[in-house]
Chains A and B, each alone.
Chain A
Amino acid sequence: MYRYIVNRVLLAVPTLVGAAALVFVLMRLIPGDICMVRLGSGGASADAHALAVCHAELGFDRPLVLQFLDFAWGFFRLDFGMSMWSGKPVAEEIAARLPISLEIAVMASVIAVLIAIPLGTISALWENSWIDHVVRTVAIAGIATPSFWLGIVSILVVLDLSHALFGAAWMPPIDYVPFWQDPLRNLSMVILPALTVGYRYSAVTMRMARSAMLEVVREDYIRTARAKGLVERLIINRHALKNALLPVVTLIGIEFAFLIGGLVVTEQVFNLNGVGRLFVLAVQNQDYTLTQALVMLTVAVFVFINLVVDLLYAWLDPRIRFG
């Protein structure tokens, strides 16, 4: 087991190096120059001398290979450098945004799991019944509805409903407060985005849970268990569900990793200062160091989540052993 984990961690190294090289090259292929944007935004003058100073300051006057080696060495030491746009440490920029993204990702995942697994299972067990039809309709609607649209509508519904009921429109706060500082304010801010994201997430997971469960309940060992006279609930909970969860866990892992940096539009709809918004800003501003760090963070999260998912396989299915 430990050897397997070490192997997986070592295998992550070429993945990270490949991602680093790719993002390094791609960022430099995008037309534009952060110095021009920084010095010239709003009509300020950006003369050749100022540009040269800015380029030297950011290290653009050095050969690309050296720039890449600097970046790789910094990453190896977990030193991501300074944001080219704000001049603040990249770690500080990300740390300011990560808690909210993480909180929403966790909440959305919990919501998704709580909705998807029971409903997906019920839907499979009562295949083609009215319950199944309702669950499938809810799932398809969830997949078809963009989270950001749902977010916009949910805010408007809250505004209109509160106005109709209490005479004054109410909406969730638009400035983030950490949970430990003011739990109520924090939850009132994150609950709507978590629900809207969680709904789409649960819809995808629900479909997967249903089809996995449909496959498993038709397996010979389930038939055998039934023939042995085992209680149905025991068959489903102990034998069917655990096996059906294998693809579902994979999906949950991928979706969770995506949520860390992928909620770009939802974050904008709810004015959440998260990693997704930072990602867009970093690319728009051509902030190489910040973009590179964010890509590497995303890759690292994916690698870590995949490792966790693989380890969960062994717990869910004891037949799986790590060599």
Chain B
Amino acid sequence: MMKTSGLAAAGLGTALCLVATAGLGWAADTPKRGGTLTYMIPADAPPSLDGHRENTFATMHAAAPFYSVLIRVNPDNPSSTTDFVCDLCTAMPTPTDDGKTYTFKIRDGVKFHDGTPLTANDVAASWRAIIHPPEGTSSARESLYIMVDKVEAPDPTTVVFRLKFATGAFMPALADPFTWIYEKAILDKDPRWYEKNIMGSGPFKPAGYEIGQSIKGVRNPDYHHAGQPYLDGFTAIFAPKEAVRVDAIRGDRAAGEFRGLPPAARDQLQQALGDKIVMQTSDWNCGNVITPNHKKKPFDDVRVRQALALAVDQWHGAPALSRIANVKTVGGVVFPGSPLAATKAELETLPGFWPDIEKSRAEAKRLLKEAGAEGLTFELLNRNVDQPYKFVGTWLIDEWSKIGLHATQRVVPTGPWYEAMRSENFDVVVEANCNSVVNPLLDVQKYLPRSVFTENYGNFDDQAEIDLYQKMLHETDDAKQRALMRAFEKQVLDTQAHAMVVTYWNRIIPLRSYVKGWKIGPSHYVNQDLADVWLDQ
């Protein structure tokens, strides 16, 4: 009896323990209200606070908490490339008119921070400014909306997007996190007002901005998502130097940052803080792109461009490089993991991805000999940014030396780097293709000739490539679209070898363990409004 009772007691105790543990787990996952999150922005002050104009994370990390968007990547599932949810709309629409019309109903009762009601007119005006910026203003995202014909607001609660053609690229483009909804009256009065001022309907209201120092926000009590935000406020400190950021996290002057640290900093923080720091990691929708200048001899010869790619051992180089730089995954023109990305077997047929590096380098040497470019000496233009530009550049020079090429690296600040590329004053350049929401059909625009995409610096024309792209963009059948993407990729990386894609970046986000509710995604632009974040303190 006693034995039975003992067993029963033990069983009950175990059950209670389980309940308690579960309870604790539940308690730990239930958001707590209050507190101020202090985080760092690894940059100097952004050139402006206007998300429509800018394309830098410094603007995003500083001002996203003040704004709402029409739709967004699900903040509970930001790694997904297809999970989009409403922010200002009431339900995700089903397209009509053969996929060419999308009708959104706008939430009722949403207010701007100044108390003005937010209507469909504000949403439509903001989108028009993004897609067709008025004279004297610029939009960094015009090229993402080439499929949009017009945006209409037939009544105060309805916004209609009419497309020129149906495409799967539209919804991910619509979820771009920079597409903040501005007040129409302000835009009408001064389209550039938002460059220096903030007026949104997001989870936080602005509470102070010290140029180059910090930006502060306080909870918006009228926020349209009930119960959010959980924080009383936030302070974002501009801290461009990595050592400062690591020390600040260690000394708890800041709870973390949202762009990404390199592996060495991760290890340092983990060693110093143990379980007081949590690292979230993700593949990053950013990859370095190596572009030869087709106008410069001998890079006008496709054999030389192919040889550059064939010399590089990505499969062994990426894991080694990932120990010191924020790079990790080998991929082609499409973000690895996306349904349109090449499989490893498909990649291995392209120059630069052959599994047998000795064979690959022998072929590279043969091509160089055939092109009369053996022992070629050239300059690799690179950007004065450590992670990962300079690491990747140095690694490439070593790889090229293995086929007898002599490259020297010219590292310059961002301004002269752009200047050199645009004025065609380079042999080969290290650049990057960084995008926000994973949207392969638009992300690969980077590889199109400059006549189509102004930020391509290869100085070539390729009508076959443009035709392939247009066909792919208009294709709505998934399987056919994937086949077209493979053909496009072969054209870019093999047949014409317009560019090389080297190792996608690896995003490592350090957050103090008391910071909860934030989930990492493959872009440092996504999921930054902080509405879900709370402090377990």
Residues of A near any B CB (own CB < 8 A): 30-34, 36-47, 50, 53, 57, 85-88, 92-93, 96-97, 152, 155-156, 159, 162-163, 168-176, 268-271, 273, 277-278, 281, 284-286
Knowing that A41-B54, A88-B211 touch, tell me 20 more A-B residue pairs with CB under 8 angstroms. A31-B416, A33-B415, A33-B419, A37-B414, A43-B140, A44-B54, A46-B454, A46-B455, A50-B138, A96-B211, A152-B243, A159-B250, A162-B251, A171-B253, A174-B239, A174-B244, A175-B237, A277-B44, A284-B414, A285-B47
Indicate if the CB atoms of A42 and B237 lie closer than 8 Å: no
Taking A32-B419, A271-B237, A271-B239 as contacts, is the C-beta distance between A45 and B253 under 8 angstroms? no
Taking A53-B136, A159-B251, A174-B248 as contacts, is the C-beta distance between A269 and B243 under 8 angstroms? yes
Pairs A-B, 5 closest by C-beta atoms: A171-B251, A42-B55, A44-B140, A32-B415, A32-B419
Q: Give the distance in Å from the alpha carbon of A42 to the alpha carbon of B272 in the complex.
A: 34
Taking A43-B455, A152-B243, A271-B244 as contacts, is the C-beta distance between A285 and B196 under 8 angstroms? no
Taking A37-B418, A96-B211 as contacts, is the C-beta distance between A86 and B247 under 8 angstroms? no
Q: Give the distance in Å from the alpha carbon of A8 to the alpha carbon of B217 in the complex.
A: 49
Indicate if the CB atoms of B247 and A156 lie closer than 8 Å: yes
Taking A169-B251, A176-B213 as contacts, is the C-beta distance between A40 and B455 under 8 angstroms? yes
A interface footprint on B432-449 (CB within 8 Å = 1, 0 otherwise): 011000000000001000
Select from chain A the residue with minimum beta-carbon distance to B413: A284
Q: Give the distance in Å from the alpha carbon of A228 to the alpha carbon of B382 in the complex.
A: 73
Q: Give the distance in Å from the alpha carbon of A227 to the alpha carbon of B253 in the complex.
A: 62
Does residue B402 face the partner (Cβ distance < 8 Å to A)? no
Select from chain B the residue with minimum beta-carbon distance to A100: B213
Indicate if the CB atoms of B414 and A174 lie closer than 8 Å: no
Indicate if the CB atoms of A96 and B140 lie closer than 8 Å: no
Residues 98 to 129 of chain B near chain A (Cβ within 8 Å): none
* Residues of chain B contacted by A268 (CB below 8 angstroms): 240-241, 244
Minimal beta-carbon separation of B391 from chain A (angstroms): 20
Taking A39-B138, A50-B138 as contacts, is the C-beta distance between A170 and B251 under 8 angstroms? yes
Does residue B45 face the partner (Cβ distance < 8 Å to A)? yes
Does residue B195 face the partner (Cβ distance < 8 Å to A)? yes
Residues 127 to 185 of chain B near chain A (Cβ within 8 Å): 135-136, 138, 140-143
Does residue B56 face the partner (Cβ distance < 8 Å to A)? yes
* Residues of chain B contacted by A85 (CB below 8 angstroms): 47
* Residues of chain A contacted by B253 (CB below 8 angstroms): 171-174
Q: How many residues of B contact A (CB 8 A)?
A: 53
* Residues of chain B contacted by A53 (CB below 8 angstroms): 135-136
A interface footprint on B38-54 (CB within 8 Å = 1, 0 otherwise): 00100011011000011
Does residue B420 face the partner (Cβ distance < 8 Å to A)? yes
Indicate if the CB atoms of A269 and B244 lie closer than 8 Å: yes
Indicate if the CB atoms of B248 and A171 lie closer than 8 Å: yes
Indicate if the CB atoms of B415 and A286 lie closer than 8 Å: yes
Indicate if the CB atoms of B247 and A171 lie closer than 8 Å: yes
Indicate if the CB atoms of A41 and B136 lie closer than 8 Å: no
Residues 434 to 481 of chain B near chain A (Cβ within 8 Å): 434, 446, 453-455
Select from chain A the residue with minimum beta-carbon distance to B235: A175
Indicate if the CB atoms of B47 and A41 lie closer than 8 Å: yes
Indicate if the CB atoms of A284 and B55 lie closer than 8 Å: no
Select from chain A the residue with minimum beta-carbon distance to B453: A45
Minimal beta-carbon separation of A26 from chain B (angstroms): 15
Could you list 16 examples of A-B contacts with CB < 8 Å? A31-B419, A37-B418, A40-B455, A43-B140, A45-B142, A45-B454, A46-B138, A53-B135, A85-B47, A171-B253, A174-B237, A174-B248, A175-B213, A175-B214, A175-B235, A270-B244
Minimal beta-carbon separation of B431 from chain A (angstroms): 9
Indicate if the CB atoms of B251 and A86 lie closer than 8 Å: no
Does residue B212 face the partner (Cβ distance < 8 Å to A)? yes
Indicate if the CB atoms of B213 and A96 lie closer than 8 Å: yes
A interface footprint on B341-365 (CB within 8 Å = 1, 0 otherwise): 0000000000000000000000000
Q: Give the distance in Å from the alpha carbon of A29 to the alpha carbon of B126 in the complex.
A: 39
* Residues of chain A contacted by B454 (CB below 8 angstroms): 45-47
Minimal beta-carbon separation of B241 from chain A (angstroms): 5
Q: Give the distance in Å from the alpha carbon of A72 to the alpha carbon of B109 in the complex.
A: 53
Indicate if the CB atoms of A93 and B250 lie closer than 8 Å: no
* Residues of chain B contacted by A269 (CB below 8 angstroms): 241, 243-244
Does residue B254 face the partner (Cβ distance < 8 Å to A)? yes
Does residue B252 face the partner (Cβ distance < 8 Å to A)? yes
Select from chain A the residue with minimum beta-carbon distance to B49: A86
Indicate if the CB atoms of B55 and A41 lie closer than 8 Å: yes
B212 touches which one: A156, A277, A285 (CB < 8 A)?
A277
Indicate if the CB atoms of A88 and B138 lie closer than 8 Å: no
Indicate if the CB atoms of B211 and A93 lie closer than 8 Å: yes
Does residue B210 face the partner (Cβ distance < 8 Å to A)? yes
Minimal beta-carbon separation of B523 from chain A (angstroms): 12
Taking A34-B415, A96-B210, A277-B212 as contacts, is the C-beta distance between A44 and B138 under 8 angstroms? yes
Indicate if the CB atoms of B195 and A42 lie closer than 8 Å: no
Indicate if the CB atoms of B247 and A155 lie closer than 8 Å: yes
* Residues of chain A contacted by B416 (CB below 8 angstroms): 30-32
Select from chain A the residue with minimum beta-carbon distance to B212: A273
* Residues of chain B contacted by A176 (CB below 8 angstroms): 210, 213
Minimal beta-carbon separation of A163 from chain B (angstroms): 8
* Residues of chain A contacted by B259 (CB below 8 angstroms): none
Indicate if the CB atoms of A41 and B414 lie closer than 8 Å: yes
Indicate if the CB atoms of B47 and A43 lie closer than 8 Å: no
Minimal beta-carbon separation of B101 from chain A (angstroms): 27
A36 touches which one: B55, B142, B419 (CB < 8 A)?
B419
* Residues of chain A contacted by B45 (CB below 8 angstroms): 86
Q: Which of A42, A53, A170 has the most CB of B within 10 A?
A: A42
Minimal beta-carbon separation of B178 from chain A (angstroms): 10
Does residue B422 face the partner (Cβ distance < 8 Å to A)? yes
Indicate if the CB atoms of B455 and A169 lie closer than 8 Å: no
Indicate if the CB atoms of A36 and B422 lie closer than 8 Å: yes
Select from chain B the residue with minimum beta-carbon distance to A44: B140
Indicate if the CB atoms of A44 and B55 lie closer than 8 Å: yes
Q: Give the distance in Å from the alpha carbon of A97 to the alpha carbon of B45 in the complex.
A: 13
* Residues of chain A contacted by B55 (CB below 8 angstroms): 41-44
A interface footprint on B222-253 (CB within 8 Å = 1, 0 otherwise): 00000000000001011111011001101111
Residues 267 to 307 of chain B near chain A (Cβ within 8 Å): 272
Minimal beta-carbon separation of B95 from chain A (angstroms): 27
A interface footprint on B388-431 (CB within 8 Å = 1, 0 otherwise): 00000000000000000000000001111011101000000000
Q: Give the distance in Å from the alpha carbon of A159 to the alpha carbon of B273 in the complex.
A: 12
* Residues of chain B contacted by A163 (CB below 8 angstroms): 272
Minimal beta-carbon separation of B229 from chain A (angstroms): 21
* Residues of chain A contacted by B44 (CB below 8 angstroms): 277, 281
